[in-house]
Structure 1
Amino acid sequence: MTSPAPHQSVLDNPYVLDLFAGPGGLDVAGHGLDIPSLGIEWDRSACLTRYAAGLDTLHADVSAVRRDAFESLPPEINVLAGGPPCQTYSVAGKGAGRRALDEVKKYIDRLMAGDSDEAVDEELKTLSDPRTAMVLEPLRYALQATRSANRGHRPYDVIVLEQVPAVAPLWQQYAKALRETGLPDGTTYDVSVGVLDTERYGVPQTRSRAVLIARRTGLGEPSLPPATHRAYEAKEWNRQADPTAGPTRQPTLDESDEPRAEAVRATGDLLPWRSMRDALAEPVGTHPGRDRAFLVRSNYGSSGVPGRRGVRTDRQPAATVTGRISRFVVFEHLSERVVREGDRFSMNEAGMLQSFPPDYPWSGTAQAQQVGNAVPPVFGMHLLSAALGLPVPDTDVLRKPWQPATEEQRAKLRGHGCGEADACTARCPRPEDQTPVRSVPEKRVAVPAT
C-alpha cells in the first residue's frame, strides 16, 4: 500500500496510551490535536499535576500494568507512545552507557525471538540500574497486545517513542525488529528513526531527541515531522553577539504581522526559532510578562564562549530545560552594562519554556524535575501529527492559558487513577519509591534518519 494522501489521517479514531507519562507533555499535545489519551505514571507528584490538569491517568508502574492489568486497558487504544527513563544511557562516564546499549539490544532480539517474560525478567534483575530495562517496555507492550487479542486488544497501529540522542541506536534496533522480525501474530511495521532538535519545531529551547515513528504495515510509510523553524547555531550566534553586551535579535517576523507569518507557513519557508523573549515577554494568564531584557546563566555549559559557560540572552532559545531549571539565574538589564541581582524562573515560566501552556497546574513536590523530564508539548504535537498523517499542527493553541480541572473532575480522575477520590491506595506505587528520576543535559548527536 502506498502512503496515504497528504493530511489524511491513517486512523479514524486515534487513542493514545502514554507510557512513562510524567506531568503530561504528550497528553497536552494530544489535547491540542483533539486526540484522547491515557497516561501511566508512577510518580505521585506527577500524577497530582496530571489530575489538576484534567488528564486521564493510571498511578501505576508501567511494568506492573503490563504484567498484571494489561487486559483492563481500554481496547480502543491504537497508538502506543512514550519516553522511558534515559539516565543509564548517557554517553558520559566510563562506558557504562555503551555497555547498557549493547545489553539492551540483545534483550530486544530475545524478546522478539519469543523468550519468556519470566526468563527475561529474571536476568534483568542482574542489571546494575533497573532503569536500564525500562526502555524495553514499549516493545513488551507491543508484544503483549498480540497475546491479549482474544480479549479485545490487537496490535497497535502506530508507535511513537522519544528519548535522549544516546538512545537512537536502540530505536534503530527496534526498527529492525519491527520491520524484519515482526510481532508473534505476523504484524510488521514501517519505521522512521532520527534525532530532531526541538527548536526547529517552535519550542523556545535547544533540546535534541531521538525519535521513532512506526506504522503498522499497510498504513503507509511514516515520515519524521518536517521542521517548521530555523535551527539555532550557538557558534554563529556567538560570532554575531556578545552575550553580556545586551540584547540582539535574530532577523525575525514581527509577531504582530500575522498575515506575513501565515504567508511564510504557506510557502513552506522556515520561521525563525523562538527565543525566551518570544515565550515570556508578553503577559498571559497569571504570567505578568518579562518586559525587560534579561540574561540567563544555567549551571551547565551551552556551547557558549569559553569563560561564559551557560550564559544566554533573552533573544536566544533557552538551554535544555531539565530538573535544574530552578537553579538557572535570571539577570535583568537596567542599562547597557548594569544588571539587577538575579532571580529565578517561576515554575509557570519554566513550563512555558518547555512549551506547556501558561498556568499549567504544576502540583506536588519536585516540580522543577517534573518540568525538566516532560516531553515538550509543542514537539509532541508535531510527532503525533507526523505519525498519524495529519497536517503540520497549529501549535498556537498551546499558548493560551490552561484551564485546570474542577475539584469534582480531579476527584473523579483520582478515583480512576489511584482507586480513591482523595488518596492513593494499595495499588499505587509505594511512597518510598516516589523519588523522581533526575534529568540530565543532552548532547546533540548526529544520527542518520531511516
Structure 2
Amino acid sequence: MNSQKTKPRVISTFSGCGGSSCGYKQAGYDVKLAVEMDNHAVETYHANFPDTPIYHGDIHNLSVDKVFEITGIDVGELELFDGSPPCQGFSISGNREFCDPKNQLYNEYIRLLRGLKPKTFVMENVSGMVKGDMKLIFKDILTQLKDSGYDVRAKLMNAMYYDCATSRQRMIFIGVRKDLGIPASHPKPQTRPKTVKECLKGFKSKYPYLKPTTKWVLNNLDKVKPGENFGKIHPKGSYFNNIKINENKPCPTITFQGYGKMIMGNRIMNSDEAALLQSFPPNYKWIGKPSAQWKRIGNSVPPNLMKAIALHIKENILNKI
C-alpha cells in the first residue's frame, strides 16, 4: 500500500460519538462507514463527521453484503476493521453479570470480521474482562479472533501514556490477517502522563460552574483530600463514585455515569472539560444537555489513544504490505 497516495480505509462498529473515528482521521485514515444504534450518539457523530455514512440501527441486522453495498469495498480489501462492543457487562464499576446480553455483542463484531476479511482489525474493551469469571469471555474472544484467520495480540493500554490527560486502561486486541505474514503488535508508551492542570490551563468552560447537588457531598467537600473518593469518609462507604480530582495528576477514568460526581475544588467538572481531558479536540461538537454529553464522553475511546494505535498499524503493518 502506497501511503502517500492512498488513505487506509476503516469501518468503525459500535462507533458511539466518534472517539475512535476522530483518532483514525487524525492518523490519516478514511472512515468508510460507522455503525451505531444510540440516537444521541448518532446525532453527535453526524455533527462531527457529516460526510461519513452511518448505519443507524441494530448491528444484528447489518449484513456483510450491506456493508459492501454501502462502502463499495469487496472481500479482503478493507485495511482496518474497528469495533468497541459495549462493555458495561465487563466493567468492574458495574454489576459484572456474566450472562449480560451486552457481553455477547462481540459475536456480531466477529461475524462481520469473518465476512469482510480485512487486512487488520482493532477491538477495544475494558480491562475488567480479564478479571474473575469474565476471563472465560476474554479467552473465547481471543480464540474466535485467532480462528478467524488472524495473528492476534491483546494488551492492556492506558490512554495517559498516549497524550491523554485521563488514566483510562483498556484491553486492545490487534489482529493481522495471517496470509500477510506480518505479526500483530501494539505501540509502546509515547508520552508522560499529562495532568488535569496542564490539560485545562487557560480553558474557560462555556457552562456555569456548579456545586454538587448531593447535600451530603456538598457538606463534606473540605473533608476529602484531592485524589480521594467520598466513600472513604462516609459511615457506610456510600458515594465512592464521587471523587475529588487531584489536578496535579491525570484525571481518573471518566465513566458514563460520572456526571456531577467528579469534583474540582468545590465544584463539579463540566462536560466540555471532560471532553478535553479525554483528548477530544476543542472544536468537537457536542449535542444536547451537559449530562447527555457526558454519557457520550464516558463511553468513548480517547481519540489520541486510537490515533497512536492507528499510526502504529499504518507504519508497522499496512505500509509493509
Q: TM-score, normalised to structure 2's length?
A: 0.76
Deviations 1:247-271 (A, max 9, x none): xxxxxxxxxxxxxxxxxxxxxxxxx
CA distance in 2 between counterparts of 1:311 and 1:211 reads 29
Structure 2 equivalent of residue 144 of structure 1: 115
Deviation at 1:202, TM superposition (A): 2.1
Is 2:95 the partner of 1:130? no
Distance 1:367 1:12, change over 3 A: same
CA distance, structure 1, for counterparts of residue 229 and residue 26 of structure 2: 30
Q: Give me the whole-angstrom Cα distance separating, in 2, the residues matched to 1:368 and 1:93.
A: 17
1:359 and 2:278 aligned:
no
131-140 vs 372-381, which moves further? 131-140
Map of 1:321 onto structure 2: 254
**How far 1:307 moved relative to its partner?**
11
Unaligned runs of 5+ in 2: 209-224
- 3-state DSSP class of the match of 2:164? coil
For residues 409-448 of structure 1, the aligned pairs below 5 Å read none
- Displacement of 1:275 in angstroms is 0.7
Give the Cα–Cα distance (whole angstroms) in 2 for the partners of residues 85 and 164 of structure 1. Answer: 9
Indicate if the aligned counterparts of 1:171 and 1:193 stay in contact, CA closer than 8 A.
no
Are the aligned partners of 1:16 and 1:35 in contact in 2 as well (CA < 8 Å)?
yes
Asked if the contact 1:275–1:314 (Cα under 8 Å) also holds between the matched residues in 2, the reply is yes
AA at the equivalent of 2:21: D
What amino acid is aligned across from residue 258 of structure 2 in structure 1? I
Per the TM alignment, residue 390 of structure 1 is displaced from its structure 2 partner at its CA by 5.2
Identity %: 23
Q: How many residues in Structure 1 have an aligned counterpart in Structure 2? A: 281
Q: Which residue of 1 aligns with 2:185?
A: 223
2:88–2:96 contact (8 Å) kept in structure 1: no
Aligned to 1:48: 43
Q: Give 1:367 deviation, angstroms.
A: 1.5
Contact 1:40 1:59 (8 Å CA) reproduced = yes
Whether contact under 8 Å (2:106, 2:141) holds in the other structure is no
Q: Give the alignment partner of residue 15 of structure 1, picking from 9, 34, 39.
A: 9
Deviation at residue 52 of structure 1 after TM alignment: 1.3
> Which residue is equivalent to 1:255?
none
The answer to whether the Cα contact below 8 Å between 2:89 and 2:95 also exists between their aligned partners in 1 is no
- Larger % of strand: which? 2
CA drift at 1:287: 9.5
Q: Identify the match of residue 62 of structure 2 among 65, 82, 86.
A: 65
Superposition deviation, residue 222 in structure 1: 1.7
Aligned match of 2:214: none
Matched residue, 2:165: 204
1:149 corresponds to = none
- Would the aligned equivalents of 2:156 and 2:171 in 1 still touch at CA under 8 Å? yes
Normalised by the length of structure 1, the TM-score is 0.55
Distance 1:381 1:390, change over 3 A: farther
2:193 aligned residue (246, 269, 273): 273
For residues 247-286 of structure 1, the aligned pairs below 5 Å read 272-283=192-203
Within a 5 Å distance, the mapping from 1:99-138 to structure 2 comes to 100=99, 129-138=100-109
2:34 alignment partner, one of 30, 33, 39: 39
CA deviation after TM superposition for structure 1 residue 331, in Å: 4.0
For each residue in 1:360-403, what CA deviation from the matched residue of structure 2 results, as whole angstroms up to 9, or x when unmatched?
A: 11113522111100000011111212233359xxxxxxxxxxxx
* CA RMSD between the two structures: 3.5
**Could you report, residue by residue, the CA deviation over 1:271-324 in whole angstroms, capped at 9, with x for unpaired residues?**
x31011111112389799xxxxx95776778xxxx9996333211111100123
Which of 239, 244, 258 is residue 311 of structure 1 equivalent to?
244
Sort the Cα spacing of 1:390 and 1:327 in 2 relative to 1 into closer, same or farther, 3 A.
Answer: farther
User: Alpha-carbon deviations, 1:9-51, whole Å to 9, x = none?
Assistant: 6x95411111010000111001211211121111111111112
Deviations 1:209-245 (A, max 9, x none): 111000112251121110113xxxxxxxxxxxxxxxx
For 1:204 and 1:59, locate their aligned partners in 2 and report how far apart those are by CA, in whole Å. 31
Match of 1:375 in 2: 301
State how far apart, in whole Å, the 2-side matches of 1:215 and 1:36 are: 19
- SS of 2:46 mapped into structure 1: helix
CA contact (8 A) 2:10 2:29 kept: yes
Go from structure 1 to structure 2 and tell me whether the alpha carbon gap of 1:211 and 1:300 turns closer, same or farther (over 3 Å shift).
Answer: farther
The correspondence for 1:345, drawn from 264, 269, 283, is 269
**Structure 1 segments unaligned to the other structure (5+ residues):** 101-128, 146-154, 183-187, 230-271, 289-293, 333-341, 392-450
Alpha-carbon spacing, 1:174–1:308, altered in 2? closer, same or farther (3 Å): closer
Distance of 2:85 and 2:176 partners within structure 1: 20
- Matched residue of 1:96: which SS? coil
Q: Contact 1:296–1:331 at 8 Å: present in 2 too?
A: no
55-64 or 155-164: bigger deviation: 55-64
Question: Residues 204 and 318 of structure 1 are in contact (CA less than 8 Å); yes or no, is this contact kept in structure 2?
Answer: yes
**Counterpart AA for 1:208:** Q
Q: Which amino acid aligns with 2:301?
A: V
